[in-house]
Amino acid sequence: MAGILLKIMQWALGGLIARALFGAGMTFVSYVAFFPLVNMALDQINNALAGMASDMYRVLMLGGLGDVLSILGSAMLTRVSMMAGLAGLARIADAQQGNT
């Protein structure tokens, strides 16, 4: 009885662990790939804003524009990473069901 229970647990957890590791890997790879792109976009926005009058730039930064840009960049990276991880998990689930 214990042997059967052990085999069932190995079967269930084996697929789950593989899917989790693959999803985590896809998330990491997509984050590493898109981080320079988002960082470059934020730098371009900062450079464009730095061309305006210094008083206006200071008022915008005091109003929290720097924080807003940081939040937007983080949200973009989070969204891309989550979608890549979910796509990886869905692909593995389809492969395990035989729907290649």
The 10s digit of each residue's pLDDT in 23-75 is: 777 777 778 888 898 889 888 988 888 888 888 888 988 999 889 999 998 99
10 phi/psi in degrees, rounded to 5: -65, -40
Residues 6+ positions from 85 with CB-CB distance below 8 Å: 23, 24, 26, 27, 30
**What's residue 63's pLDDT?**
93
Classify residue 98 by its DSSP letter.
Answer: T
pTM above 0.85, yes or no: no
Residue with tokens 């371009």: 44
From the list 38, 28, 44, 3, the residue with the least C-alpha distance to 84 is 28
